[in-house]
Amino acid sequence: MLKIGARFAAMIKSKKVQCRRNEMSDALSRFLKYVKINTQSARDSTSYPSTERQFDLAKVLVEELQEIGLEDVKLDQFGYVTATLPANTEKSVPVVGFLAHMDTSPDASGENVQPRVVTAYDGGDIILNKEKNIVLSPREFPQIAALRGDDLVVTDGTTLLGADDKAGVAAIMSAMAQLKAHPEIRHGKIRVAFTPDEEVGAGVDHFDVPAFGADFAFTVDGGELGELEYENFNAAEARVRVSGRSVHPGSAKGTMINAAQIALEFHQLLPPFEKPENTAGREGFIHLFEMSGDVENAALNYIIRDHDEALFEKKKEAMRDAADFLNKRFGSATVSVEIRDQYYNMRKMIEPHPEVLDAARKAYRDLGIEPREIPVRGGTDGSRLSYMGLPTPNLFTGGGNYHGRFEYLSVKGLNKASEVVVRIAELVGQG
């Protein structure tokens, strides 16, 4: 009799778990809705957020948070959406926060995104756009071969998808709906936030950490299933400007100073192997992402990245040295370099709080996911938040090939990301 009772209890528990998993597919429907809203940010904007269109998604999220039943739902003048899921336990436990960013990268178009779900991916080529012969292939992107059998969301090959980070937004929203619908899952107070302008390095410029009121938080802004990230690049941007002198090329000897030519020389003076295409793991780089110019004026825009603080400073010094060398040849005001630090490696701010990472690791393993703790070759809002007093490591979303037209999202990864949020909330609520 006891054996039958135990079996029945296990069956009920299994059905509840399966019910919860089914409800998690809500994350996909939310994601497909969000990516159709253009929220692309802009690097050279003087407004905050950098584009007004980011408010379009923010307003949708406000409505959905209210429909779910969260409290203190707010949208401020900076585009931050915040809300509270009150505690349903009497235990005194930490307040945990979950964050994701609403904007998409300026590196590829975010207008008129046409997502498509490839069911039970067979491991071969995915034709994104037959007319334009745009194909997502495991020959070029071998990581997708490991996703055989999973459902994938892809683009039509003309825009990015927006999984970075609308997958994180969808995972958090679905998790909040799950927690609200299942009061038997005991949890403490939960704070959520959706931020603008992360892709242009300004995501938390105006974020009020004390008002947010979390003891620690997680960004849901990572990549493949299982990634757990608490180490990221130190980051800076560099703007190089070259001033030249234009004269008729027929009489240019000894008088012309060709700014475009000097800009090319500047780039060639930088370390040749410290480029993104030549680096991996913890290796840093100097990346030229934009250039323009003529004889009179030229401009080069770079980002500088390194996990190691000393090597980070060395890369910045290499750029100044290149400018000094050219100024000695062509005149002291020929080349200027303006370098602005963007964010720093969050590892040293998170490691003093092992309980934060322990909660994430246990949540992963409870759900059958082995954590893959890797250094982020990029940054998240969490890196800056950690230096603002809010330890904020990063959770996976299931996406890949971010910032381009070959971007994709694993539906399994998305659903698991939402489950992880729920489980972390439950673990923190247990005290």
Annotated catalytic residue, options 64, 198, 199, 426 = 198
Annotated catalytic residue, options 26, 64, 103, 229 = 103
Token couple for 27? 């994350």
**Peptide bond just before 49 cis, omega within 30 deg:** yes
Q: Are 114 and 131 in contact (CB under 8 A)?
A: no
As a whole number of angstroms, the distance between CA 1 and CA 148 comes to: 44
Q: Is 64 a catalytic residue?
A: no
User: Per residue, what are the HEC states of 134-200?
Assistant: EEECCCCCHHHHHHCCCCEEECCCCCCCCHHHHHHHHHHHHHHHHHHHCCCCCCCCEEEEEECCHHH
Q: Are 362 and 420 in contact (CB under 8 A)?
A: no
Q: Is 44 a catalytic residue?
A: no
Strand order through the sheet with 116-118:
116-118, 152-154, 408-410, 399-400
Q: Are 326 and 220 in contact (CB under 8 A)?
A: no
Dihedral (CA of 253, 255, 258, 263) sign: positive
As a whole number of angstroms, the distance between CA 209 and CA 40 comes to: 25
Known catalytic residues are 103, 198
